[in-house]
Chain A
């Protein structure tokens, strides 16, 4: 079975500060890892994903994440927060075997950005 843990249900940063949202996963097979963002009253939008290859993945809106197999982590970062980054962020994992497509989500992290 796969699982995802997001450390911190709420993260608050100042505009221009570093954003760091933490995600750890558990998977018995090589994982595919995703970060989704949800703005109020909207669906989940893919920020970035790791499948194979380069472990540092760049996504939309200046976000990036690094897959660290030894730490079973896939933390999301952005060098400089913008007010428009305020949203809820979900880390998710899928993998091989018979569950190729099924996404297993973390509990989400609400990011607040202060002026």
Chain B
């Protein structure tokens, strides 16, 4: 069964460093998402992406964050200058048709630790 994959599973970085989290969505899906979950808190929406542009972003998704689909298969989340409060589990999800109750398929997550 097709699945969403994410790399790395765990990333440790120093505050102020740039990190890139990678996701490979299910191949025929068209809509892509990033969510994050700070330890002990809710899963929070960050951004949605369709047709090579951002569809919607949350207030968390400020200028330090960016997303890209560089090669038609990968979907990346970049954090330019990490802060301690960026430490969280980051989940990528993909969806075939977008909205209307369609199912989002989640990857296993990347645990980001900022020191």
Count of interface residues, chain A, beta-carbon cutoff 8 Å: 27
Of B43, B44, B56, B98, the contact of A98 (CB 8 Å cutoff): B56
**Distance between Cα atoms of A90 and B37 in the complex (Å):** 12
Q: Which residues of A have CB within 8 Å of B35? A: 103, 105
Given A42-B108, A45-B106, answer yes or no on A100-B42 (Cβ-Cβ < 8 Å). no
Given A43-B106, A43-B107, answer yes or no on A101-B98 (Cβ-Cβ < 8 Å). yes
Name which residue of chain B comes closest to A102, CB basis: B45
Label chain A's interface by main secondary structure: loop
**Distance between Cα atoms of A41 and B42 in the complex (Å):** 16
Interface assignment of B104: CB less than 8 Å from any CB of chain A: yes
Q: Contact at A51–B106, with CB atoms within 8 Å? A: no
Q: Contact at B31–A101, with CB atoms within 8 Å? A: yes
Q: Contact at B55–A101, with CB atoms within 8 Å? A: yes
Beta-carbon contacts under 8 Å, A91-109 to B: 92, 94, 96, 98-108
Return 16 A-B CB contacts under 8 Å, by A number: A32-B100, A41-B108, A44-B43, A44-B91, A94-B99, A98-B56, A99-B56, A100-B98, A102-B48, A102-B56, A103-B43, A103-B104, A105-B42, A106-B42, A107-B41, A108-B43
